[in-house]
Amino acid sequence: MKTKIFYIIVFLLILGILISQLHFIPSFESWENYLFVLIFSSAFIVGVIYLFKGWKQQKSKMKAILQIVLFSIIFFTTLMFSAPPMFKPEYIKNSTQNNATYYIYNESCFPPDGACECDTYGSLIYVKNKYLPIMHLVVKTNFYVGSVQLNNGELIVKASDICSKDFGKTKRILLK
């Protein structure tokens, strides 16, 4: 019984890490947070049950205390590295073309810099999975995206007019 609980904990932690690496479409982003909290709360509760069962069966209390410390370190480290990022890119708009939905997000400068003052600003363009409410990264640009067009299997991305130094920039991506 004790080893089954351990495998459940490992499964829940791995599932939480995998889910945290997915990018959900904007209408499902709140579900992503709920799912994340539910999975890691379940892993924590099952882990505490596992530790209490082990505490009762351990002859050496020092070994039990070591297990509690190790579980705490592993759990909170996993939680910290898989938690949703604090500074997410800002969702701007979506565009549907040829039965594919493209989502445009802007990555901006860290305050107090303005929108176009740093070297790290740009846009991320994701495409929605055909069946699931998740997205896959198509392209990352070094300018803010204004429009997206699909032409004969080629994605044409044009810069917006937010930054004057990006006027006329275009990026072409051949889709498979």
The predicted-structure confidence for 42-64, as pLDDT tens digits, reads as follows 888 888 887 777 777 766 667 77
Range of the domain at 35: 2-82
Asked whether residue 98 falls in the same domain as residue 116, the answer is yes
Q: Looking at 82, 101, 119, which one is the last position of a domain?
A: 82
- pLDDT for the residue 20: 78
Cα three-residue angle 39-90-159, rounded to 5 degrees: 140
pTM, 2 dp: 0.74
**Given 27, 49, 82, which residue is the final one in a domain?**
82
Cα distance between residue 145 and residue 166, in whole Å: 10
Could you tell me if 170 and 159 are in contact, meaning their C-beta atoms sit under 8 angstroms apart?
Answer: yes
Residue 1 has pLDDT above 50, yes or no: no
Residue 173: is its pLDDT beyond 80? Answer: yes
pLDDT of residue 113: 61
My answer on whether 114 and 76 are in the same domain is: no
| 122-170 pLDDT tens trace | 889 999 988 888 899 998 988 888 888 888 888 888 888 888 888 888 8
The tally of domains found in the chain comes to: 2
Amino acid at 46: V
Q: Are residues 114 and 169 in the same domain?
A: yes
pLDDT at 31 over 70: yes
pLDDT at 83: 67
Instruction: Name the least confident of 70-74, 103-107, 111-115, 134-138.
Output: 111-115
Do 138 and 65 share a structural domain?
no
163 in the same domain as 115: yes
